[in-house]
Chain A
């Protein structure tokens, strides 16, 4: 412990602990309250108390344990004082009858319980994401609402409905059995991945990247890797986020224009994230068959390791997409594979692959398909067809940075 802090230092320390420890503190407090709302209140109180106590006495050696102790004590007081409240609550279901209350500050990590409950398949995926941001990351309802571009009352209602379902349908607060864990982990990883892709290229709006969402997804992936290091899917997703996000600084120019992979300044890529990510990819690929995240991360790593665009090993990328298509036959993967074929074997081959996907109903309305066609048509000098394809892509794209990019490409056709 360090002696007194000024109020700015204390606020910064509490904000840091909020970011790092919220999920740990809350998940442990839920063991005492067996009610999510009461636990949230108690954790909120603990952070408020930290603001004054840490200013007077310095930041404790283990902020998470300090906050957990305070929050759990508050919860026990509350429940003891209000036994009526206790009886009226539909309590969360656990495997043990009574949570252990240990002396000292060594609390077991309960975050896997919490995230498996938040991402239970009986909850809709929107609710899963909202609960995860709220309960694991500690975002306020207003912040979660902003992340989804919905109003705060709408989000508040969605969170309330989801918590009510957890309590009344008795979704257990428990780490799934070893047999169930892979399937349940899959849902959790789906939520973290969706959070990342939504942040990486925002579906709509003026910014290409929603940094808040990207960073939360990275925090969550790191947390899962710490909790379940043996899962190659977890390692694969963490690698995918690290290696893809390593390019963050170079994806948009200083004047706000989208820069393609070919035009990005590779010296500005985050080398330490790439190193960490590629090491994880190698580990994750050792599992047979490799998982989808590991393969996607491997593809990102091939790009990351190419010193220049021209040096990209497209044959390797196509080969990885071939495997990915087998284990994860999604139309979007097929589209990315078709584009890679175009770079590996020439624009005519790319167009042939893309045209084969023209009837895919899930790709109708997906702007990247006409955008990729337009690029290859442009390279082949088929200007009229390229113009139509760019116009189609523009109709289907709502992110402002991407729209500007397509408009510029369209204008370049006329030069």
Chain B
């Protein structure tokens, strides 16, 4: 088995403008995903929107500049993740396909193993 991180990238305005019903649907979707894949899921979280993000950039001289906002400004921002266990990429993809992400999509990345 291997671990993969499923990164959820979506347009934040989708959530900002979503009705209560849509929110409910999405939360139920995540609950259903969690129950169905309980054995595979090793962790996961939703993130607050990028307006709450703080970015630290190395100044190359041992210090950091601290600024407001996400590290990269993109239309679709990282909004949450699941850490999962899967036998191979095909299995990881089939799990990722079940993650609710109607305002964007998902990225699947293998976790690096240090031996």
Instruction: State how many angstroms separate the Cβ of A249 from the closest Cβ of chain B.
Output: 44
Describe B's contact surface by its main secondary structure.
mixed
Cα A172 to Cα B2 in complex, Å, equals: 12
Instruction: State how many angstroms separate the Cβ of A177 from the closest Cβ of chain B.
Output: 9
Contact with A along B42-56 (1 / 0, CB 8 A): 000000000000000
Cα A329 to Cα B29 in complex, Å, equals: 33
Q: Which residues from 135 to 192 on chain A have a C-beta closer than 8 Å to any C-beta of chain B?
A: 168-172, 174, 176, 180
**A122: Cβ under 8 A from any B Cβ:** yes
Pair B93/A170 contact, Cβ less than 8 Å: no
Cα A83 to Cα B11 in complex, Å, equals: 49
Instruction: State how many angstroms separate the Cβ of B109 from the closest Cβ of chain A.
Output: 8
Chain A interface residue bracket vs B: 10 to 19
Pair A169/B89 contact, Cβ less than 8 Å: yes
**A252: Cβ under 8 A from any B Cβ:** no
Residue of A93, A122, A168, A174 touching B93 (CB-CB under 8 A):
A122
Q: Which residues of B contact A169 (CB under 8 A)?
A: 89, 108, 110
Cα A176 to Cα B93 in complex, Å, equals: 13
Contact with A along B1-24 (1 / 0, CB 8 A): 010000000000000000000000
Nearest B residue to A177 by beta-carbon distance?
Answer: B90
Q: Which residues from 69 to 115 on chain B have a C-beta closer than 8 Å to any C-beta of chain A?
A: 87-90, 92-93, 108, 110
Cα A386 to Cα B44 in complex, Å, equals: 63
Pair B90/A172 contact, Cβ less than 8 Å: yes
Nearest A residue to B86 by beta-carbon distance?
Answer: A170
Pair A93/B110 contact, Cβ less than 8 Å: no
Describe A's contact surface by its main secondary structure.
loop
Instruction: State how many angstroms separate the Cβ of A271 from the closest Cβ of chain B.
Output: 44
Q: Which residues of B contact A180 (CB under 8 A)?
A: 90
Q: Which residues of A contact B108 (CB under 8 A)?
A: 169
Cα A176 to Cα B90 in complex, Å, equals: 9
Pair B110/A172 contact, Cβ less than 8 Å: no
Instruction: State how many angstroms separate the Cβ of A123 from the closest Cβ of chain B.
Output: 10
Instruction: State how many angstroms separate the Cβ of A90 from the closest Cβ of chain B.
Output: 9
Cα A161 to Cα B7 in complex, Å, equals: 22
Q: Which residues of B contact A168 (CB under 8 A)?
A: 110
Q: Which residues from 91 to 137 on chain A have a C-beta closer than 8 Å to any C-beta of chain B?
A: 93, 120, 122
Instruction: State how many angstroms separate the Cβ of B108 from the closest Cβ of chain A.
Output: 8
Cα A122 to Cα B96 in complex, Å, equals: 13
Instruction: State how many angstroms separate the Cβ of A32 from the closest Cβ of chain B.
Output: 19
Instruction: State how many angstroms separate the Cβ of B105 from the closest Cβ of chain A.
Output: 14
Pair B110/A171 contact, Cβ less than 8 Å: no
Q: Which residues of A contact B88 (CB under 8 A)?
A: 93, 170-172, 174
Cα A170 to Cα B1 in complex, Å, equals: 10
Nearest A residue to B94 by beta-carbon distance?
Answer: A180
Cα A81 to Cα B100 in complex, Å, equals: 49
Cα A176 to Cα B88 in complex, Å, equals: 12
Nearest B residue to A167 by beta-carbon distance?
Answer: B110
Instruction: State how many angstroms separate the Cβ of A154 from the closest Cβ of chain B.
Output: 25
Cα A169 to Cα B90 in complex, Å, equals: 10
Nearest B residue to A94 by beta-carbon distance?
Answer: B88
Q: Which residues of A contact B89 (CB under 8 A)?
A: 120, 122, 169-172
Q: Which residues of A contact B90 (CB under 8 A)?
A: 171-172, 174, 176, 180
Q: Which residues from 59 to 98 on chain A have a C-beta closer than 8 Å to any C-beta of chain B?
A: 93
Cα A170 to Cα B2 in complex, Å, equals: 8
Instruction: Pick from A122, A169, A174 the residue with the most CB of B within 10 Å.
Output: A169
Instruction: State how many angstroms separate the Cβ of A263 from the closest Cβ of chain B.
Output: 49
Nearest B residue to A180 by beta-carbon distance?
Answer: B90
Q: List 15 A-B contacts (CB under 8 A).
A: A120-B89, A122-B89, A122-B93, A169-B89, A169-B108, A169-B110, A170-B88, A170-B89, A170-B110, A171-B88, A171-B90, A172-B87, A172-B90, A174-B88, A174-B90
Give 11 new A-B contacts, CB below 8 A, not counting A122-B89, A172-B90.
A93-B87, A120-B89, A122-B93, A169-B89, A169-B110, A170-B110, A171-B89, A172-B87, A172-B88, A172-B89, A174-B88
Could you list which residues of chain B lie within 8 angstroms of chain A, going by C-beta atoms?
A: 2, 87-90, 92-93, 108, 110
Could you list which residues of chain A lie within 8 angstroms of chain B, going by C-beta atoms?
A: 93, 120, 122, 168-172, 174, 176, 180
The 6 closest A-B pairs by CB, nearest first: A172-B88, A93-B88, A170-B88, A169-B89, A171-B89, A169-B110
